[in-house]
Chain A
Amino acid sequence: MPKELLVVDDLQVWFPVRRGFVESLTSKEQRFVKAVDGVTFNIKEREIFCLVGESGCGKTTTGKAILRLVEPTGGNVRYYGTGLNATMMKEAIERAVSKKMISKKEAEEALSTGAIDVRRLPKDKMKMLRQKMQMIFQDPYESLNPKQSIYDIVAEPLVVNNLGANEADREKRVAKALDDAGLRPPKHFMWRYPHEVSGGQRQRVGIAGALVLEPAFLVADEPVSMLDVSIRSEILKLMLDLRDKKGLTYLFITHDLSVAYVFSDRIGIMYLGKIVELGPTEEVIKKPMHPYTKALISVVPKPDPRMKTEKIILKGERPDPAHIPPGCRFHPRCPYAMEKCKIEEPEAIYVSQEHWVSCWLAAGEGKTE
């Protein structure tokens, strides 16, 4: 059984709602937008774990909170990366020690293979850990600085982290990252600007920017949703290749279940800041247990007009994370909602060894018919 690389335990990200002057005088209770409200999952080494959900369900915030690009409000994120032993990390820590950024003891701790509590890491050490945990962003048209050459964009993480002995060494690393991202020959792309390359190549530049630090764990936030369908699978294949060659682990964030279906090993379905169903991809898609999962699967457009399937179209839109309904948070839109769902929040119920769902129906209450 593969080792766990990342354990996310009851992660919470709450954003305070700004109060007006009068409201603060009337001392009403401070309200929060609970973007992520108790998310628990783990990712094994070399695994592709996929978070799926509608926009605003908190999937991107979860990804960012793991990298501490937003500060979590509660919960734990533990990272068991052996990648920390890589020479590059050592180099960075030694430099930090020499600059008295951290003590020797702390450096040893960070280097040991044990769990690293991501949430409690001081900022400077988090910066170092982030060399092993990188992010690929959604929109390759907006995430690249149009005034920087591709070399500058990809070399930026090296500059920020003070890596690379000299300019020649940096250039070598950038060339390798571009080559890994499938931009071959790298020399041909290095001195171009983002507008000179196609959308698919832009996304490869984004991936190269993440790869240049040789990370072990990547958060890929909708990396293909802005791309044309004809080139999507090229990018997905590249990501699979990188996993095989470099032993990368992915947290893949998408709203597109059909992409998640072909690409990921395990899926977590998110609704309003919580995972409602989690399990191996094949099992979740073929035998969905949660009514929300079932509905999501039924509305994925099928690329074939001959396949007419029954659609479960949920009424209304997703409620506001500032006003999460009591009980099961899905009950206002659930076609099978019972009295119990309005009062009590369901716990995770295991339907098989790795497949759990939080729904009272799975607990044997009520009937789906």
Chain B
Amino acid sequence: MVLLEVDGLKTYFKTQEGTLKAVDGISFNLEKGQAMGLAGESGCGKTTAALSIMKLLPANGFIAGGSINFMNQDMSKVTGDRLRAIRWRDISIIFQGAMNALNPVKRVGDQIVEPILLHEKVDEAVALKRVKELFELVGINPNRIREYPHEFSGGMRQRVMIAMALACRPKLVICDEPTTALDVMIQAQILQLLKNLQQELELAMIIISHDLSVLAETCDLLSIMYAGKIVERASAVEVFSNPQHPYTKGLIAAFPNIKGERKMPASIAGNPPNLINPPVGCRFADRCYMTQDVCRQDEPPLIEVLPGHFAACHFVKPRGV
């Protein structure tokens, strides 16, 4: 069952210098219980893509094209109360720097009770009981629901945020850089928790991170974004074992591997293009080691290289599809 269908999504921002094409035509499907990773450098549009799905764009952002279908409803037509009903009940989000997203003057329990009471016809006692269950689920002592955010450490606060995201039993959870501000040890705890929850509750998840190694540990599917476009999409194992796009290859090579040989990882020279006036042709052309004239003239389409494995590069030829 397809839960989320994003087709040709374009999200632009109006700025003083012109229209910034943050997300410029991305498509993907997500089924129930699937975890997809969205990877890319900062400024490639991964967070914007997520915010577009929840319709949480800032005032100067707008969806310029494409469609988002969530549970067979066209999200562009969902507004007002219906949108409010979907947010958090069906789709929830764990924000970047979630540790600072909690209200410092409200008890954590009350903060989680709030969305439950808003979305479901239950009384406070039932909601509080649910919060205790949620705390247990994410590995916090249920007796701590009357504490304030400052009494929790960073990792614990992140767990509170996860509990909050799960409060109304959503079908899709978007995690925006869920572990970026955390220590390696806490990161490992949180990633394991997310993975267990995803499998136990059959959650669909979109995990956004610039850290491919984090995604490698948690996701079934991977989409690599570059300058507002998805340049490669496949299962996580496929992406790592058989990367097709030169950008993906570069990203993978950029990671030092503690289990591998002790050598300095490669880097990708240059900077991503300006998205107000994106270059014609392939957007990666300026940083690519195999650029030819064709790359600067035509934009490569996202083609199916192998079954279920898509890449957008002129030098990738379909095999066995």
Contact = CB atoms under 8 A, between A and B. Distances in A.
Contacts of A259: 256
A303 B212 CA distance: 6
Interface in A244-286: 255-259, 261-263, 281-282, 285
Interface of B: 41-42, 153, 155-156, 183-189, 191-192, 210-214, 216-217, 219, 236-237, 240-241, 250-252, 254-259, 262-269, 271
In this complex, the interface size class of chain A, counting residues with CB under 8 Å from chain B, is 35 or more
A256 B262 CA distance: 15
A295 B189 CA distance: 12
Nearest to A317: B153
Contact of A257 (B184, B188, B254, B271): B184
B240 A258 contact: no
**Which 8 A/B pairs are nearest by Cβ-Cβ distance?**
A299-B188, A301-B213, A303-B255, A303-B213, A233-B267, A258-B256, A230-B268, A262-B256
Nearest to A234: B267
Interface in A75-98: none
A200 B251 CA distance: 16
Contacts of A232: 254, 265, 267
Contact of B240 (A55, A234, A306): A306
B253 to A, nearest CB: 9
Contact of A313 (B189, B219, B268): B189
Contact of B183 (A55, A285, A306): A55
Given A281-B262, A285-B258, A317-B153, A300 B184 contact: yes
A318 B185 CA distance: 10
A236 to B, nearest CB: 6
A301 B191 contact: yes
A157 interface: no
Contact of B217 (A255, A302, A317): A302
A2 interface: no
Given A305-B237, A311-B192, A231 B256 contact: no
A228 interface: yes
A231 B267 contact: yes
B269 A234 contact: yes
A165 interface: no
A326 B295 CA distance: 64
Contacts of A234: 267, 269
Given A228-B41, A299-B188, A305-B236, A258 B264 contact: no
Nearest to A314: B185
Given A303-B216, A313-B192, A317-B156, A236 B264 contact: yes
A136 interface: no
Interface of A: 54-55, 198-200, 228-234, 236-237, 240, 255-259, 261-263, 281-282, 285, 295-297, 299-307, 309, 311, 313-314, 317-318
A230 B185 contact: no
A282 B262 contact: yes
Nearest to B271: A198
Nearest to B192: A313
Contacts of A54: 183-185
Contacts of B251: 229-230
Among the interface residues B254, B257, B258, which one has the most CB atoms of the partner chain A within 10 A?
B258
B185 A296 contact: yes
A314 B155 CA distance: 13
A62 B224 CA distance: 39
Contacts of B237: 305-306
Contacts of A240: 264
A199 B264 CA distance: 20
Contact of A230 (B41, B183, B186, B189): B41
A302 B259 contact: yes
Contacts of B184: 54, 255-257, 296, 299-300
Contacts of A302: 213, 216-217, 257-259
Nearest to B183: A54
A258 B267 contact: no
A257 B186 CA distance: 14
A311 B192 CA distance: 10
Contacts of A281: 262
B258 A305 contact: no
Nearest to B44: A228
A262 B263 contact: yes
A200 B256 CA distance: 18
A89 to B, nearest CB: 32
Contacts of B264: 233, 236-237, 240, 262-263
Contacts of B255: 229, 258, 303
Contacts of A296: 184-185
Nearest to A235: B267
A229 B156 CA distance: 27
Contacts of B262: 261-262, 281-282
A231 B268 contact: yes
Given A232-B265, A233-B267, 11 more contacts: A54-B185, A200-B271, A230-B251, A230-B268, A231-B267, A262-B256, A295-B185, A297-B258, A299-B187, A302-B257, A313-B189
Nearest to A233: B267
Contacts of B188: 299, 301, 311, 313
A232 B184 CA distance: 18
A301 B185 contact: no
B212 A229 contact: yes
A313 B252 CA distance: 25
A89 B205 CA distance: 58
Among the interface residues B188, B254, B256, which one has the most CB atoms of the partner chain A within 10 A?
B256
17 contacts: A54-B183, A55-B183, A229-B211, A230-B250, A230-B251, A233-B256, A262-B265, A263-B264, A285-B258, A297-B258, A299-B188, A301-B191, A302-B216, A303-B216, A303-B252, A306-B241, A313-B185
Among the interface residues A199, A230, A259, A262, which one has the most CB atoms of the partner chain B within 10 A?
A230
B216 A228 contact: no
Among the interface residues A229, A259, A262, A317, which one has the most CB atoms of the partner chain B within 10 A?
A229
